[in-house]
Structure 1
Amino acid sequence: MRAVYILPGLILAGALVLSSVFIVDEREKVLVLQFGQVKQVIDQPGLGFKIPLIQEVLRYEDRILGLPTQPLEVTPLDDRRLVVDAFARWRIVDLEVFRRAVGAGGVEAAKSNLDKIISAEIREVLGGVPSQKVLSEDRTTLMNTIRD
């Protein structure tokens, strides 16, 4: 009779232990949330522990991420139409600040926000110069202005 209760008890205990342990890869950072609030930030690789069913683990890339943007149609001062391709490289430095800034949307919300910022900056900078300047050697100066 006792064996009938021991085996399911062992299986339940094993499942509980396995659901409370997680592995942090060297290429990622982890946020441990408890009821939606940040409880712990883990940025070192190794084993991590959480309270099952109460705490949630969110993983974020620690590497530099690429963000290709859609081609933009820009009209410089001389009313020519230019199609501009752009890309950005970005990285999550502080997970708590990142979480507050984008909320539950995570990386996809951040990409959307960055895409809007980059598009607006490109239109502002390239819309204020003639198309010849965009196509000349001054292009590096314009790229630095957009970046900054």
Structure 2
Amino acid sequence: MKINLTWLVVGLAVIFLLLLSSVFIVREGHTAIKTRVGEITANDIEPGLHFKIPGIESVIRFDARLQTLDAPSEAFFTAEKKELIVDYFIEWRIVDTQKYWVATRGAKPRAESIIEQIANNQLRGEFARRTVKEVVAGDREEIMQSITDTLSGEVGSQGMQVVDVRVKRVEFSDQIKGNIFDRMRAERERVSNSIRAEGREREVIIRAQTDREANIILANANRDAQIIRGQGDAEATKVYADSFSQDESFYRFQKSLEAYQAAFNNKSDTFVTSPDSEFFNFLKNKE
């Protein structure tokens, strides 16, 4: 009786193990395939509880969620033969597990290598047809959409779908940076030289206007001075004439004294004239 009970327990354990090994679960967001001696017997198995033949069928699970491939920086040349350093990433996912298994044997690095190689070739071709300005500012959305569509078409036969391709960063190479800085420096120098030339031109105009106005002011001042001087001379002449008419002999006497003072201003002055010269009329004794 005890032996029968033991075999019963063993039999139940074996049955339980067989049932346990024949059941497999696919988690949410994943998919799976069943293989039998290397051949796929079922693909695109959805999440949930499923059965297999123990010891004969194997289950290979895949992550069916959106995957992100963060590609390393690559150098691409534009239509002007300018080198750009580009960082980009690709969003992709598995859509056909059978084709994916055949193409990659389920290895994610191999799948990403395929996608990255095709993406690089596409980016190289798109950049080579465009200028730096078009790549950086103008046609980036168009480039990304074109590459996304092309990639989806090419990797679709391998059970994958490319959802999106996005450029994170476009950077000039060191050589282009140097050329850009040189052009920027030359442009700034051109602008500064133009501003200096305009300043010098304005300076010449202002100086000319100032000199003209100064000359006008000086001419007007000289004219006014001549007029005032003339008026003063006329008035002085009139005063002298009036004085002369009032006492002619005194006027002549005063003028002679002024002449004597001017002639004998210094002790070393020498004056040669005849004694009967009219210059000494007022120094002679007169009766």
TM norm structure 2:
0.47
What's the CA shift string for 1:91-121, capped at 9, x where partnerless? Answer: 222222222333x243332111111111111
Higher helix proportion (structure 1 or 2): 2
Partner of 2:129: 128
CA distance in 2, matches of 1:45, 1:130: 48
The alpha-carbon distance between structure 1 residues 8 and 111, as it changes in their structure 2 partners (threshold 3 A), is same
Q: Name stretches of at least 5 consecutive residues in structure 2 with no aligned partner.
A: 150-287
Task: Give the letter aligned to residue 130 of structure 2.
Answer: V
**Residue 22 of structure 1 corresponds to which residue in structure 2?**
24
* Higher RCO (CA-CA < 8 Å; seq separation 6+): 1
Could you say which structure has the higher strand fraction?
Answer: 1
Aligned identity (percent) is 31
Distance, in Å, in 2 between the alignment partners of 1:111 and 1:141 is 23
TM score, norm. by length of structure 1 = 0.85
Change (3 A) 1:31 1:69: same
Say which one has the larger Rg. 2
Deviations 1:56-77 (A, max 9, x none): 1011122222211111111212
Aligned residue in 1 for 2:58:
56
Superposition deviation, residue 44 in structure 1: 2.9
Aligned-pair Cα RMSD in Å:
2.0
> What's the secondary structure of 2:99's corresponding residue?
helix
The CA distance in 1 between the partners of 2:26 and 2:114, in whole Å, is 27
AA of the residue aligned to 2:74: L
- SS of structure 2 residue aligned to 1:136: helix
1:72-111 to 2 correspondences below 5 Å: 72-102=74-104, 104-111=105-112
Cα shift readout 1:26-77 (whole Å, capped 9, x = no counterpart): 2111101111111112533321111112111011122222211111111212
SS of the residue corresponding to residue 57 of structure 1 reads strand
Unaligned runs of 5+ in 1: none
Residues 23 and 93 of structure 1: CA distance in aligned 2, closer, same or farther (over 3 Å): same
